[in-house]
Amino acid sequence: MTNVQTYLTHFLDVALEAAPWLALGLIAAGLLKGLLPAGALARFVGKPGLGSVIRGSLIGVPLPLCSCGVVPAALGLRREGASKGATVSFLVSTPQTGVDSLAVSYALLGPMLTLARPIASVITAIAGGLAAEAVDRKTPANPSEPESPRPCCCSTEESTCGGTRSVSLGVINQPPPPPPQPTLTQKVWRGQTYAWTTILDDMAVWLLLGLAVAALINTLAPPDTLHAIGSGLPAMIAMVLIGIPMYICATASTPIAASLLVAGISPGTVLVFLLAGPATNAGTVAVIRRELGTASTAAYLAAIIVVSIAAGLVTDIALTSAGWTAPETAHEHHSVATMIISWLALLMLIVIGSRKLIPSRAITPPDKDVSHAAPGD
């Protein structure tokens, strides 16, 4: 078998291993998107303090957003009233994990690292949020920030609201009835459409890149090739320096991590890569600095660096003491039923992921009339 054939075999093995878990993660992500009420997140993270920071980190764990995709979501939270610390904790925890990446992690990394990943992510996020709260208290408030407008009273007398003379006439000036709420079926459909279009589009290229790198490592690097640099503080620092400027989503980083484990990298060093790589990239740092300030951005990066390395060291000590061994997912044998499911999931991901290459009509729920849809639907 030639090197090209060996590489393609490894690529297909990793893709089949990850496909059903990725599909399951996208389904769960769509349910979160469709069923979570709009504005519900900001109500829980509005006040500065430890509680909001913790809630911001926990909210971000299941959401399948990459380090670029999380920025508009976090800024939306911030502008709805979320505290700076909660915003930073959300920024840290969200891209590091997600229901899709945790599902793929269970398949490729085993239960121990799958459990360590969200725990370390939450700790990193809380540390970053508290650091941002601390530096924010030293920064004077912006006096030019506009105040919220006073609501108009509802009476039969004339009143002035925002400098405009108006007359309230009781029932006549009552607000219009709210628009009809979507049904459960519509919510689920919209959530699944979002997951299988926007989310899949956002990570498709980087997921393919991750699978390609994983297959390359499996092809060129025997398991003991990287053993000499597979553990210790220098290897973890190198992972941080490589991971922070890199743009790779949590799901795409998982097959790379699995290949590093098989190649001899220690689980703690791999965990550092899983935390630092997806958490941020060079492009998002500039946006975060502009929106949150230099001090909060420094706290955000410092938390990722310090806690990621600390989590890696603790993980190496704990798993080595427990006699942990790397899962050899690329060499496992599967039943016929499992292989059928893997192939169906992989084909479904390929067909939906490549839909932009084929001209087609927009995906719309069958019970929705596009001609009467409001702008932005």
* pLDDT value at residue 189: 92
Tokens describing residue 322: 């427990």
Q: Considering all CA atoms of the chain, what is the largest pairwise distance in Å, rounded to the nearest integer?
A: 89
**pTM recorded for the entire structure:** 0.65
Average pLDDT over residues 86-97: 85
Handedness of CA 240, 247, 92, 256 (dihedral sign): negative
Task: Count Cβ atoms within 10 A of the Cβ of residue 196 and give its class: 0-12 exposed, 13-18 middle, 19 or more buried.
Answer: buried
Residue 212 and residue 15 in contact, taking contact as beta carbons nearer than 8 Å: no
* pLDDT value at residue 328: 58
Q: Which residues are paired to 158 by β-bridges?
A: 167
Average pLDDT over residues 89-93: 86
Has residue 226 got a pLDDT over 90?
Answer: no
Q: Which position has the higher pLDDT, 33 or 161?
A: 33
* pLDDT value at residue 308: 92
Domain parsing of the chain, residue ranges:
18-139+183-362
* pLDDT value at residue 163: 47
Q: What is the pLDDT of residues 333-373, one digit of tens each?
A: 456 778 888 899 889 988 888 876 665 554 455 554 444 44
Cα–Cα distance, 5 to 261 (Å, whole number): 23
| DSSP notation for 37-85 | PTTHHHHHS-S-SHHHHHHHHHHHSS----TTTHHHHHHHHHHTT--HH
Q: What is the pLDDT of residues 9-24, one digit of tens each?
A: 888 887 887 788 778 8
Can you say whether residue 49 is alpha, beta or left, with left for phi > 0 and alpha for psi between -120 and 50 degrees? left
The region of weakest confidence among 18-32, 122-136, 323-337 is 323-337
Cα–Cα distance, 104 to 114 (Å, whole number): 9
Cα–Cα distance, 343 to 19 (Å, whole number): 8
* pLDDT value at residue 145: 42
For residue 137, what are the contacts with CB-CB under 8 A and spacing of at least 6? none
What are the Cα distances from residue 322, in Å, to 9, 89, 315? Answer: 33, 31, 10
